[in-house]
Structure 1
């Protein structure tokens, strides 16, 4: 499939597509160090508040109350290669990543219903992501008759936070069957810029451009609901299933625009409504004894991202996701082994590429343009490995975890043009300079994210 010029003209910029999946359809929320050391795999095990991140039926597995808090440190490194050069950038971010708790209520009756438990979980993650791509002296733009410039560098800069607060109820039927339901509330605070620097061929001076409709700022809220079940096949095997509705987002957006024939340079505001895909998950767990457990989760998006249509931009976005978005799938595997009061854990997860192969017109290193097909344009698949250790002091416990997540994707930028009627789509601007191009520069980005977690917990 190919991305048409008209699509990106209306969609404003590449980052709208990236953020639609990477932020507003995100299912990879961090939990406690135990949860993270097992790569987030606990759909058929349950037992604590992090069940609200996968299968709320896991709340019903708990037989005692518990509360915990988790500190996390993230090291995010992007290395962007273009035209024979590369630029690497690291960002360190520390925060309170997770707080959760479960209260158990044992039913003192003759009924087969043994427990009804209530859980709450809060997860918070940084959206900070800076990608700087090197320039190409062969990429020349004629701004006017007296000023030609070559590309010096390009940068996407996103920063902000994404949080998820979940409240749920789980029930235990005869210690063999568990059911649960939850409500999830989301919040996003995100700022993003898109800039390019050019060097004058006449005098060597540098000039920085912001892309049309950037910087932009989004303050958003959303909600979803989840339902799940877990059943014991026998004393060693469990099966689980969960369903989470689309997240219904309300997105308030403000952005800068330039050289408008009526308003000149100004700030605009708009509101968008968006629904993420409906998600389903199936799980299986093997509990050999109190000393060893193994869990595997498989999740799949059942629908596609969809914006409420207010105009051409949302229509074009929906057309793109309808034609080129693949239902996102994820596999998570996690295990725990206990030796007296010590806990050893490990995990692995794989998340698929959300898009089909896409073809764009792109600049080669010599400055010429040609069509190129990419199977990892904008985003790609992700691999995560994790491990951790914990110590149980009976009433109190402490856990630590480490995760390494990697991905490689092709990063398109720089395209913008003016049509014969002087309508500008997404060109870069200054008050007097306009870049005109119907092709992209495309860098290759390698992302390595190292996450560290430390959890302090109390059982009661």
Structure 2
């Protein structure tokens, strides 16, 4: 199969206008993960760069491990619910999906450094702490459902455009356009020497897209942090990242169609009812590695500033894709082609990410903290090899369609009693696209904490909103679009133990 054809037809419910390259979309999808953290840090808007002393430092700013004066471990399960409200051709629908996962688990081992007898125990290198853990940085779970009546065009126009593409395969056997021709969805309205393929649909078709997605980004994290004179903290870490993305989509269309019927040589066009279903199934798995280097400076007990650099993640991706087309016509004809299976292995580099933050501590009453992150999604790069030329479509699409973004996180914690704490936070994840087909993602968080000697419990609720415009198929300026308004409600519970 020609790779160009694969890139032109894949991901029908996830496609955005002017970009029909699956891998370009996946490259950015796999670059938008958020730093793994405990319920405490999620409660303050995920603004943990300059806090320190929290197990989120294992996957976030590793310099924060230098603040620990004891060993510690914790586990954070999560509950996720995502609602997608869609608007398509003046019709509205919604769908929802709920899942549960392990979001974060980590430990740190405190190692006080030996000092010469009689030396100042508050000066020089005081401790070297190391830790490890698991973090889930993105969830891809969602159900998408939109439908409406299209009086302007049909997906059959898209099949006809594929057949007319001078760089394509025409109506070759096994291609999507060839299957559409065999199903009587398109016909040649030109000559054999100069074919011109057009849709056979009559004006006004009913369309529906249903997609189910699952998977996520997760990592095994290892880090160390050191404390110098209780003023300067430095750390480094490495993450072994795993990605899994599954998408099963069906695009249904029904309406009237003009088909030729009668004896050979004297056929006439007859109007019939038809229904078709284009199914796509994508299964993507991969692994990669990334690193990070962080610092925190505490010029005074009440003030901390921090910074962390996240290297790109270097992935190896295995992608499996299949498609099928089924059609039923009211004259008794039934056609079914597929599934046709395709696979490809490729490598990918995600962007660098830079973050800085500051925290103000108000004695034992709590703190205020804020972070700013910068990431340039257009710098994502897919490598070419003998089987795949990413520089023809995907990398140019990434550079032209995506942009740099700034993420903001702000939060506060208040200690109301010796054992009860309240938290709140707000975050904005900047939009990755430059064409207006997505929005910022805004997150509001709130939580509480309980302290019982060596044990602690933290609970957090987050509410995130954002929107995305998707195009089920491409037929130029008349391409139909669906607006997806997404709402995510998540709950996190951290159980921890100090020893």
Regarding TM over 0.5, the answer is yes
Aligned to 2:173: none
Judged with a 3 Å threshold, the aligned counterparts in structure 2 of structure 1 residues 289 and 7 are, in CA distance, closer, same or farther, namely farther
Matched residues in 2 for 1:315 and 1:50: separation? 40
Shift of 1:155: 2.8
Give 3-state SS (helix, strand or coil) of 1:95's partner: strand
The structure 1 residue matched to 2:301, chosen from 227, 232, 235, is 235
Conserved? CA contact 1:55–1:229, under 8 Å: yes
The structure 1 residue matched to 2:341, chosen from 267, 280, 299, is 267
Does residue 434 of structure 2 align to residue 356 of structure 1? yes
Aligned to 2:142: 129
- Greater strand proportion: 1
Aligned to 1:40: 46
Shift of 1:208: 1.4
Aligned to 2:127: 115
Matched residues in 2 for 1:177 and 1:195: separation? 55
Shift of 1:27: 3.2
Matched residues in 1 for 2:33 and 2:205: separation? 40
Shift of 1:40: 1.1
Matched residues in 2 for 1:154 and 1:139: separation? 17
Shift of 1:77: 0.3
Does residue 59 of structure 2 align to residue 64 of structure 1? no
Matched residues in 1 for 2:307 and 2:488: separation? 29
Shift of 1:175: 0.7
Conserved? CA contact 1:11–1:313, under 8 Å: no
Does residue 26 of structure 2 align to residue 19 of structure 1? yes
Shift of 1:131: 1.6
TM-score normalized with structure 1 length: 0.83
Conserved? CA contact 1:256–1:268, under 8 Å: yes
Matched residues in 2 for 1:194 and 1:248: separation? 28
Query: CA offsets, 1:241-263, max 9 Å, x none?
Result: 1111100010001112569xxx9
Does residue 366 of structure 2 align to residue 292 of structure 1? yes
Matched residues in 2 for 1:180 and 1:29: separation? 16
Conserved? CA contact 1:10–1:312, under 8 Å: no
Matched residues in 1 for 2:25 and 2:463: separation? 21
Matched residues in 2 for 1:118 and 1:307: separation? 33
Judged with a 3 Å threshold, the aligned counterparts in structure 2 of structure 1 residues 8 and 238 are, in CA distance, closer, same or farther, namely farther
Shift of 1:403: 0.2
Which deviates more, 319-328 or 395-404?
319-328
Aligned to 1:362: none
Judged with a 3 Å threshold, the aligned counterparts in structure 2 of structure 1 residues 11 and 235 are, in CA distance, closer, same or farther, namely farther
Does residue 324 of structure 2 align to residue 255 of structure 1? no
Does residue 396 of structure 2 align to residue 319 of structure 1? yes
Aligned to 2:357: 283
Matched residues in 1 for 2:93 and 2:449: separation? 38
Aligned to 1:163: 218
Unaligned regions of 5+ residues in structure 1, if any?
1-5, 358-374, 417-436
Shift of 1:283: 1.0
Shift of 1:84: 1.4
Aligned to 2:275: 206
Conserved? CA contact 1:139–1:151, under 8 Å: no
Judged with a 3 Å threshold, the aligned counterparts in structure 2 of structure 1 residues 29 and 19 are, in CA distance, closer, same or farther, namely farther
Judged with a 3 Å threshold, the aligned counterparts in structure 2 of structure 1 residues 49 and 183 are, in CA distance, closer, same or farther, namely same
Does residue 360 of structure 2 align to residue 305 of structure 1? no
Which deviates more, 67-76 or 106-115?
106-115
Judged with a 3 Å threshold, the aligned counterparts in structure 2 of structure 1 residues 18 and 54 are, in CA distance, closer, same or farther, namely same
Aligned to 1:388: 447
Query: CA offsets, 1:55-93, max 9 Å, x none?
Result: 110111111111111111111000010111111001111
Aligned to 1:367: none
Shift of 1:440: 2.3
Judged with a 3 Å threshold, the aligned counterparts in structure 2 of structure 1 residues 204 and 31 are, in CA distance, closer, same or farther, namely farther
Matched residues in 2 for 1:395 and 1:251: separation? 43
Aligned to 1:368: none
Shift of 1:95: 1.7
Conserved? CA contact 1:38–1:347, under 8 Å: yes
Query: CA offsets, 1:15-39, max 9 Å, x none?
Result: 64443223x1023144221121112
Matched residues in 1 for 2:474 and 2:398: separation? 20
Does residue 479 of structure 2 align to residue 440 of structure 1? yes
Shift of 1:457: 0.8
Does residue 474 of structure 2 align to residue 415 of structure 1? yes
Shift of 1:10: 4.9
Shift of 1:205: 5.2
Unaligned regions of 5+ residues in structure 2, if any?
16-21, 117-122, 157-184, 188-199, 257-270, 326-336
Within-5 A mapping of 1:83-98: 83-98=89-104
TM-score normalized with structure 2 length: 0.77
Aligned to 1:405: 464
The structure 2 residue matched to 1:332, chosen from 409, 428, 431, is 409
Matched residues in 1 for 2:210 and 2:338: separation? 25
Which deviates more, 24-33 or 270-279?
24-33
Shift of 1:237: 1.2
Matched residues in 1 for 2:419 and 2:458: separation? 12
Shift of 1:264: 7.6
Does residue 423 of structure 2 align to residue 345 of structure 1? yes
Aligned to 1:101: 107
Shift of 1:411: 1.6
